[in-house]
Amino acid sequence: MRFVTAFMSAIVWGSGQVLNRQWLKGLVFFGVQVALVCIELFTGTLRVLTVPEGAMDIGGNAFFHFRNAGFFTRSIWGIITLGEIPRESSAVLIFDHSTMLLISGLIAIAVLLLFLLVYVFNIRDAFITRKKIEEGERIDSINSIRAGLERNFEYISITPGMLLLLFVSLLPILFSFLVVFTNYNTNTIPPRNLVDWVGFQTFRDIIGLPIWSHTFVYLFIWTTIWAFTATFTAYSFGMLQAVIISSPLVRYKKFFRSIYMLPWAIPGFVSVLTWRNALHPQGPINRFITDLGYEALPFLTDVNYARAVLVIVNVWLGFPYFMALISGVMGTINTDMYEAAQIDGANAPQIFRKITFPYILSATAPQLIFSVTFNFNNFGLVFFLTGGGPGDPSLQFAGRTDLLITWIYKLTIDQRMYNYAAAMSVFIFIVLATVSAINLRRTRVFKEE
């Protein structure tokens, strides 16, 4: 009998629950099925369309097509074909937009997966409930629902936020991933042109064409060096300030902490633009240097100077955060360890190396990893300070201080080479996700869990 109830729920959702005398639960599952059917039926125009008089003919005056079907059918057709009718002129009233079809297809698949989860749960619930009834257990519909809500309250509470997170974060990632396998670039901008699936051609171009591969390797190496250098310098300077301010020889600690927090309190782009104006070839710093009788320094036009400036300004912006973080961590260290070390004859450097530093590093490891990830994608600092310059003709649409993320921006906004930019975005996501997962698994938080 349990297989019969499961089969009934597989045909008409909730019918198995009705056989199990769980009327309310069966009504809920049936309502979900009705919602699925209604979405498909009432979101389409299941009729023969006629091209209005005076509009451009698209291959016949009357026609029927998948684009007129319901939301799910139309969206699945769209993500498979990416459209069939371009808008070659303003006279065309019926046309396809490839990127909109791709986005709609992703949304439809996500919604269908949610319905599929409910469908499977509906069958499983009917089967398990009938099994309990056959074993002599008394089943009450309302009490069963109440018990299920209480038992799964935590999961029910986090589900809305998780769905929103998946919609906001996962769908854009999937969209970028799928764009990599298309020819979506400046030559195929919908709706005037349709986008086509091209498989791995984008990856073959990046790897096979020398100018693309050279640019990618160069920027990847520089981005990696920059991420670790920027994080290490800001972290080290922040730790130095935290150690100095925590010294018993320093008075007015709150005052100094407040002053040092100002670079962090001011909006970052304001500080970066201020630094850019100050370091401009005709800016106040270079004017002061020339007034002293020296030549102006190429802070933003020479690659070595530009990279040094990036690191210095990043330290200016980043060290207050680490100073505050490390100061808080140092306040939790048990002073008995310091007293025991002093009794054993340890000096200040030894105490710091053996007690303070290991404790700080262990407590701040997750934030340190996240800082590396942030600096790997530190778009604002590079974009507003150097703009990726100075330029280099050997690089494809990139400058010597460009990061991968600023290169992606230029490929997207300036060059409209969306498929190549998407390929870089997917690569960055894979690298950062892998590195972050490996390192976080080694931290104390995950080990304790």
pLDDT at 235: 96
Looking at 138, 166, 199, which one is the last position of a domain?
199
Measured CA to CA, the distance from residue 395 to residue 399 in angstroms comes to 7
Cross-strand partners of 34: none
**Same domain membership, residue 251 and residue 163:** no
CA distance 423 to 440: 26
The answer to whether the CB of 109 falls within 8 A of the CB of 79 is yes
pLDDT at position 20, please? 85
- Which residues partner with 62 through β-bridges? 50
Q: Return the CATH number at 232.
A: 1.10.3720.10
| CA pair distance 17, 24, nearest whole angstrom | 9
- Dihedral pair phi/psi, residue 88, rounded to 5°: -75, -20
End of a domain among 199, 221, 242? 199
**Tokens 């769980």, located at residue:** 22
Contact 437, 370 (CB under 8 A): no
Query: 260 with 388, same domain?
Result: yes
Q: What domain count does the chain have?
A: 2
Question: Residue 143 has what pLDDT?
Answer: 63
Please report the pLDDT score of residue 141 as a whole number: 61
Q: Are residues 195 and 209 in the same domain?
A: no
Task: Say if residue 280 is in the same domain as residue 166.
Answer: no
Based on the domain organization, do 420 and 335 belong to the same domain?
Answer: yes
**Cα angle for residues 80, 84, 90 (degrees, 5° grid):** 140
Structure tokens at 258: 């407040």
Do residue 185 and residue 323 come from a single domain? no
235 and 166 in one domain? no
Spatial contact of 184 and 82, defined as CB atoms under 8 Å apart = no
- 127, 221: one domain: no
Residue with tokens 């199990």: 20
pLDDT of residue 148: 67
Rounded to whole angstroms, what are the CA distances from 115 to 32, 120, 185, 249?
Answer: 8, 9, 34, 65
Q: Are 121 and 226 in contact (CB under 8 A)?
A: no
Domain that holds residue 220: 204-447
Neighbours of 76 (CB within 10 A): 17
Along the chain (449 residues), what's the average pLDDT of each consecutive run of 10 residues?
87 91 89 95 66 43 68 95 88 86 95 95 90 78 67 80 84 92 93 94 91 94 96 96 88 87 87 94 94 94 96 95 92 87 87 91 87 93 95 93 96 94 91 79 57
> What per-residue confidence (pLDDT) applies to 440?
67
β-bridge pairing 49-50 and 62-63: antiparallel
CA separation for the pair 72, 81 (Å, rounded): 14
**Listed residue (348, 409, 365, 358) closest to 383, CA to CA:** 409
The verdict on 277 and 247 lying in the same domain is yes
* Sign of the alpha-carbon dihedral angle for 297, 303, 304, 308: positive
- 240 with 251: CB under 8 angstroms? no
Q: Which of 199, 220, 245 is the last residue of a domain?
A: 199
Residue 173 and residue 247 in one domain? no
pTM, 2 dp? 0.84
**Whether residue 122 sits in one domain with residue 79:** yes
Same-domain check for residues 271 and 343:
yes
